[in-house]
Amino acid sequence: MSPRDPPATGLPALGLDGPTAPVDAAAQGWRNARNLLCIRLDNMGDVLMTTPALRALKAVRPDRRITLLASRSGAAIAPHVRDIDDVIVYEAAWMKNAASPPERFHATVQQLRERRFDAAVVFTVYSQSALPAALLCHAAGIPRVLAYSRENPYHLISDWAREIEPLPEPRHEVQRQLDLVATIGAQAPDRHLAFSVRDADQAGLDKVLRARDLSLPRDCVLAHCGATAESRRYPAALFAQAIDMVAGAGGCVILTGSPDEQALVDDVMARSCDPRRLVNLAGALTLGEFGALIARASLLISNNSGPVHIAAALGTPIVDLYALTNPQHTPWEVPHRLLYRDVPCKYCYRSVCPLGHHACLSAVDPWQVAQAAFELLESHAGTRPPVMIKAA
């Protein structure tokens, strides 16, 4: 298990020594960019971790219109981020798990060309190349492009921030993107993640709860056992033991998951020693309703996936079962505990455990999960709805 506090992941803003123009000159040109395309083609959590940078871009010019080009997963966040004015869904062929025929590339080029964007910002993790997205922008006639690049992009990227990662001390993904937009003079008025829960989301959640004759007690704990990558999933048997301990201490535990995760949640329920104490809402909620549920909860217990970043945006404390696949994606500016077992193969950046043992997660004892939950619930009882914790 890790120490309670996360490893250092935030670094000061870095001087990115690529051939980017001086900030003042670059910033002046970017201030004139009213119609802006922001490209983030990976997953929902990645888009969420980019929201402070989007806020910084909007703050430079409040009348700026930001269009997000994103995968279907990432685009789902757009209605909940006030700084995003429009969204275009594009499953890029150069992204993992995306299948896209050449015709889709050409259609997207035409769609972007018709929008007449003044500039584009390409957001990537350091293991990704921005060059394919920059080529898309070039083909669409977008005159200014900001992105990180390890290789010299020549005319594909007008404002080039040299890729300097990996660093000896990991830089958080949020800070990485804030550093990128800072090279053109964009500074965020605040650094919190953004996720807005709308009135319709609250009403939709209430409708779901009424239909199931449920009311949320003040000690509601959410448990999310899914994750897009297999390597980031805490074993179902251990997850069941952990939430049984939390439920047995007097807390209400609600299991959540997408429709695709229904079977996984059912497996956890089946492994519980008393599933009657658990509530299964997997597949029952829209994304907005899920956000409303997180906002009302006292705590989220989750694998490191999109729900962790939604909870961070909403200020809900998190017990994060943190597979050591990437050190840059820890919960951002929210009370949390990271649980993992330090292993020699850490930071593998793989979706499937390359050694097949999942030791960074499977070696975490369920009692450690429950204990972390109790500690967070107790320490934040004054700021979140309190939970009753009984002696085991």
Indicate if 44 and 162 belong to the same structural domain: yes
Radius of gyration of the chain (CA): 21
DSSP-derived 3-state class of residue 141: coil
Indicate if 74 and 162 belong to the same structural domain: yes
DSSP-derived 3-state class of residue 333: coil
Indicate if 228 and 313 belong to the same structural domain: yes
For the chain, 392 residues long, the average pLDDT of each consecutive 10-residue run is: 38 40 70 98 96 98 97 97 98 83 94 98 96 98 98 96 91 97 95 97 97 86 84 86 93 92 95 94 97 97 95 97 81 94 56 57 90 93 42 26
Q: Evaluate whether residue 391 is within a structural domain.
A: no
Indicate if 170 and 208 belong to the same structural domain: no
Indicate if 170 and 311 belong to the same structural domain: no
Q: Evaluate whether residue 385 is within a structural domain.
A: no
How far apart CA 282 and CA 303 sit, in angstroms, is 15
pLDDT reported for residue 363: 82
H runs (alpha helix) in 300-365: 306-314, 359-362
How far apart CA 268 and CA 243 sit, in angstroms, is 10
Q: Evaluate whether residue 243 is within a structural domain.
A: yes
Q: Which of 41, 39, 45 is nearest to 326 (CA)?
A: 45
pLDDT reported for residue 4: 37
Residues whose CB falls within 8 Å of the CB of residue 253, separated by 6 or more in sequence, listed in order = 221, 222, 223, 243, 246, 247, 277, 278, 279
pLDDT reported for residue 16: 42
Phi, psi of 67 (to 5 degrees): -110, 130
Distances (CA, A) of 136 to 34, 41, 139, 168: 20, 12, 5, 33
Of the residues 150, 182, 214, the one at which a domain ends: 182
Indicate if 233 and 362 belong to the same structural domain: yes
Q: Evaluate whether residue 342 is within a structural domain.
A: yes
Q: Evaluate whether residue 197 is within a structural domain.
A: no
Token digits for 248? Answer: 């047995």
- In the structure, how many helices (H) and strands (E) does the chain have? 14, 12
Q: What is the value of pTM for the model shown?
A: 0.88
Kindly report the CATH number assigned to the domain that includes residue 162: 3.40.50.2000
Contact 387, 377 (CB under 8 A): yes
Indicate if 137 and 222 belong to the same structural domain: no
Residues whose CB falls within 8 Å of the CB of residue 287, separated by 6 or more in sequence, listed in order = 76, 77, 80
Indicate if 220 and 368 belong to the same structural domain: yes
pLDDT reported for residue 342: 65
Distances (CA, A) of 378 to 217, 388, 389: 16, 9, 8
How far apart CA 233 and CA 305 sit, in angstroms, is 9
* pLDDT tens sequence across 323-342: 766 778 999 999 999 998 76
Q: Which of 314, 307, 303, 241 is nearest to 278 (CA)?
A: 241
Of the residues 137, 152, 182, the one at which a domain ends: 182
Distances (CA, A) of 108 to 70, 86, 111, 203: 12, 15, 5, 36
Contact 220, 279 (CB under 8 A): no
Indicate if 307 and 258 belong to the same structural domain: yes
Residues whose CB falls within 8 Å of the CB of residue 152, separated by 6 or more in sequence, listed in order = 160
Indicate if 354 and 281 belong to the same structural domain: yes
Q: Which of 89, 317, 79 is nearest to 201 (CA)?
A: 79
Contact 343, 298 (CB under 8 A): no
Instruction: List residues bridging with 86 in a β-sheet.
Output: 67
Residue 99 neighbours by CB distance under 10 Å: 8
Contact 7, 170 (CB under 8 A): yes
How far apart CA 392 and CA 389 sit, in angstroms, is 9
How far apart CA 331 and CA 312 sit, in angstroms, is 6
Q: Count up the domains in the chain and report the number.
A: 2
Q: Evaluate whether residue 189 is within a structural domain.
A: no
Q: Evaluate whether residue 7 is within a structural domain.
A: no
Give the structural domain span for 350. 202-379
Contact 57, 50 (CB under 8 A): no
Q: Evaluate whether residue 127 is within a structural domain.
A: yes
Indicate if 101 and 214 belong to the same structural domain: no
